[in-house]
Structure 1
Amino acid sequence: MATLHGNWVKLDQRGITQGARSSHAIAVVGQKVYAFGGEFVPRVPVDNKLHVYDLDTLTWSVADVSGSIPPPRVGVTMAAVGETIYVFGGRDVEHTELNELYSFDTKTNTWALISRGDIGPPHRSYHSVTADDRHVYVFGGCGVTGRLNDLWAFDVVDGKWVEFPSPGETCKGRGGPGLTVSQGKIWVVYGFAGMEVDDVHCFDLAHKTWAQVETGGLKPTARSVFSTCLTGKHIIVYGGEIDPSDQGHMGAGQFSGEVYALDTETLSWARLDDKVESGGHPGPRGWCAFASACRGGREGLLVYGGNSPSNDRLDDIFYLALAQS
C-alpha cells in the first residue's frame, strides 16, 4: 500500500518582503502567492497592501492595485477560483467583526466589493474557507455574539450566496477549524470551541446533510489554527495550537510541529514522515497563512509566517512537497 510522505523546503525571499505577521491569509494563482492582512502586534492590523510572492523567482513585490481596496484586517481568509481571489471577513482595527466579500482580479489587479451588510454570512473573523471550481465555502469563526457553526457558499458564476442547513449542536461553533472540499463533501476538521476539539464533520453537498465522522488510526491531538491542504483523497494537517494561552489572543499557547493526513475514504489518520530537504523544519507554530500549491511538479502545502511558542511573529516561508511511495 502506498505511503504518503513529505519533504520540507525553506524558500528564499528576495525583494520587498511583507514582514513578520500572523492571522493573515494567502491564495495561490499559478506560480504567484498573494498575501493580505495580518498582525505583528496582537489584534493590530498591519496594512492592506497586497503582497505578491513569485514561486519561480522567489521574489516579493507589492501589487499596484485599483478599485475598492479592503481596509486592514486580521483573522481574514482568502480563496482562489480560477484567476480571481476572494477575500472574506476578518476583524478591523477597532476589533469589529466584518462580513464584506471582496474579489481581486489577478489579470487586471482590480479589487471589487461583492457583498456586505445583510447580504451573505454574518460578520466574523478566524473562520475558514475552501473553494472548488465554482464556489467559495465559508464555515464558522468568531461572530459578534459567539463562535459560529454555519456553512455558506458563494457561487462565483451566479454571484449569489447560499446558506446550507445547520449542523446542530453536534458540531459546536468554533474558530480556526480545517476546511476542505473532497468527494462531494465539505469537511470540518477540529478547531477551537471554548477548548481545542478533535472532532470531524462533513456536509454532503448533494443530499444537504451533515454527519459526524468517526475517525481511526493515529489521530492528532485536539488543535486549532493549523495549516491544511488537500492532496488526492488526503486532508493534510500541519502544526496548530494544542493548548491555548492563559492570555487568550494576546499570548502564545502551545503549538505542534507535526504533520498528519486523514484519508477521506478509509477515515483513518496517519502521522506523516516529514523530512527536511533543505533549509530546516518550520517547527511548532500556528495562526499561519497557508494554501495548496504546486512547485517543481509536486503538489504540496505552502506555509507562511504565523506565531511561535515564544509569541514572536514569523516571516519565513516553507513548502511541504508531498508524494506517495
Structure 2
Amino acid sequence: MKKILLNTIFIVLLCPLCFSGNVFGWSTRTYTTDADFSGFSRDGVEITGSDTAAQLNLTRNWQEITPAGGSPQARHSAAVSWDVALSSCLVHGGNTGTDHLIDLWLYNSKDNTWLQRAPSPRPSARYGHKVVNISTGIFLLFGGLDSAGTYHNDAWFYDQHKNTYAQKYYGVTPSSRAYFSMEYLPEYRRVYLFGGTNGSSIFNDLWYYDVAADSWSFVLVESSPPVRYGHGMCWVNPSSCAVVYAGQGNSGLLSDLWSFNVSSGAWQNYPQTQPIKPSARTDFAFLYLKEIARIFLFGGYTGGSPSMSNETWLYNFNTNQWS
C-alpha cells in the first residue's frame, strides 16, 4: 500500500554534521549538575539526568526547508539519489496516485533551488525504481513499474553535466522488478541490488554492477535473507557491510536486519530482540551517517493505526541497538 508524500523538503539537523575542522572552547568554571546547566542560556543542547549525573546532549531536530521557485509535485515511490560532490539531489519519476511521472528534477542545496530538466531520449514514466550516484554528476537508474503494469530491468545512465541519458544493454542483468534496494559502494566501485518484486514473485537475489567493467554479476551465496520488497539497504563503510532492514515479505511486514559482508561474501542475521526498536514496516528512508556512525531510519508504512509513521530512529551497527 502506498501513500502520497507531500512535496515538502525536510532535513535532519544532526549536530555533529554541523562541525568542520577543530572546535575550541574554554570556561573559567566547571559545570557538573543539572542546576548548573540550567543557569545559562542553551541552544542546540538538552539536559538529561540530574545532579552530578546530568549530561548535556546535542539535540537532533527536523527543519523544514522552503526552496525558492518551483518544486516537484507531490508523489511517492520516486527514485532519489544524492551527489555529495555537487551538493545536489536527483529525483526521477514516481506516482501521484493517479499518474505515473516521467519528470526529472535536481535540487541544489547550496542555493536552495529546484531545477527541472527534460533530456531526450529518457526513461519512460515509472515508479518503484532506483537511482544511485556512481561518480560526480553521473547516475545509474534501474528497473521500476510503469502505467501499463509492466516491470522493467532497463539501465539508464544520466550525466548531470551534459543533461543526457544513455541506455545500455547487457547480456546478463537482474530480472525485471520494482521496490528493490540499490546502493553504491565507492570503495569497490560496485552498485549492489537486492530483492524486489515483479508483481507475482518476491525476490531475495543479490547482484552487483561493476562500474569499471560496465557489467552485472549475480552473487552466489550459501544462504540469504527471506524474500522482500520495499525494504531499506545502506552501506556501512567501516564494517564493509551492506545492511538490509525490514520490508514486505510473503507473510507480511518484516522487522529483521541482515548484513552482507563484501569481503567474505556472506550474509549474517542480527536478531532484533531489543526492547526498544522500530516496528515492522516498509517504504522508509534508510541511510548510514558516517559522521555519527549510526544508521538513520525515518517513516514508513507500518500497517497500524495510523498506518504511516513519522518516527525517527538511529541504529548502532556495532552494538545492535536502536534509539
Same fold (TM over 0.5): yes
Counterparts of 1:31 and 1:185 in 2: how far apart (Å)? Answer: 25
Q: Give the structure 1 partner of residue 321 of structure 2.
A: 268
Q: Which residue among 142, 146, 151 is the counterpart of 2:201?
A: 146
Counterparts of 1:36 and 1:241 in 2: how far apart (Å)? Answer: 21
**In the TM superposition, what whole-angstrom CA distance separates every residue of 1:220-261 from its partner, at most 9, and x where no partner exists?**
11111001111123211111011179xxxxxxx701111111
Going from structure 1 to structure 2, the CA distance change for 1:163 and 1:197 (only over 3 Å counts) comes to same
Counterparts of 2:222 and 2:301 in 1: how far apart (Å)? Answer: 24
Q: Give the structure 2 partner of residue 165 of structure 1.
A: 220
* Structure with greater proportional strand content: 1
Q: Which residue among 63, 70, 73 is the counterpart of 2:123?
A: 70
Counterparts of 1:4 and 1:88 in 2: how far apart (Å)? Answer: 39
Counterparts of 1:33 and 1:242 in 2: how far apart (Å)? Answer: 27
Mean Cα displacement is larger for which, 99-108 or 214-223?
Answer: 214-223
- SS of corresponding position for 1:136: strand
Counterparts of 1:145 and 1:5 in 2: how far apart (Å)? Answer: 45
Structure 2 unpaired stretches of 5+: 1-54
Across the aligned residues of Structure 1 and Structure 2, the Cα RMSD in angstroms comes to 2.2
Q: Does 1:32 align with 2:85?
A: no
Counterparts of 2:58 and 2:230 in 1: how far apart (Å)? Answer: 25
Q: Give the structure 2 partner of residue 193 of structure 1.
A: 249
What is the total number of aligned residue pairs between the two structures? 258
- Structure scoring higher RCO (CA < 8 A, sep ≥ 6) equals 1
Q: Which residue among 279, 296, 303 is the counterpart of 1:243?
A: 303
Give the TM-score of the pair, scaled to structure 2: 0.74
Counterparts of 2:68 and 2:265 in 1: how far apart (Å)? Answer: 46
Counterparts of 1:69 and 1:244 in 2: how far apart (Å)? Answer: 38
Instruction: Give the alignment of 1:91-240 within 5 angstroms.
Output: 91-115=145-169, 119-133=172-186, 134-143=189-198, 145-166=200-221, 168=223, 171-182=225-236, 183-194=239-250, 195-215=252-272, 216=274, 218-232=276-290, 233-240=293-300
- Contact 2:258/2:268 (<8 A) preserved: yes
Q: Give the structure 1 partner of residue 47 of structure 2.
A: none
Structure 1 unpaired stretches of 5+: 246-252, 271-325
Mean Cα displacement is larger for which, 74-83 or 54-63?
Answer: 54-63
Q: Give the structure 2 partner of residue 282 of structure 1.
A: none
Counting aligned pairs with the same residue, the percent is: 26
Deviation at 1:58, TM superposition (A): 1.9
Going from structure 1 to structure 2, the CA distance change for 1:104 and 1:8 (only over 3 Å counts) comes to same
- Contact 1:75/1:125 (<8 A) preserved: yes
Q: AA paired with 1:51? A: W
Counterparts of 2:304 and 2:206 in 1: how far apart (Å)? Answer: 25
- Contact 1:81/1:131 (<8 A) preserved: yes
**Runs ≥4 residues deviating over 4 A:** 1-5
Counterparts of 2:229 and 2:82 in 1: how far apart (Å)? Answer: 23
Going from structure 1 to structure 2, the CA distance change for 1:142 and 1:11 (only over 3 Å counts) comes to same
Deviation at 1:6, TM superposition (A): 2.4
The higher radius of gyration belongs to 2
- SS of corresponding position for 2:94: coil
Going from structure 1 to structure 2, the CA distance change for 1:267 and 1:3 (only over 3 Å counts) comes to farther
Q: AA paired with 1:213? A: Y
Instruction: Give the alignment of 1:241-320 within 5 angstroms.
Output: 241-243=301-303, 254-270=307-323
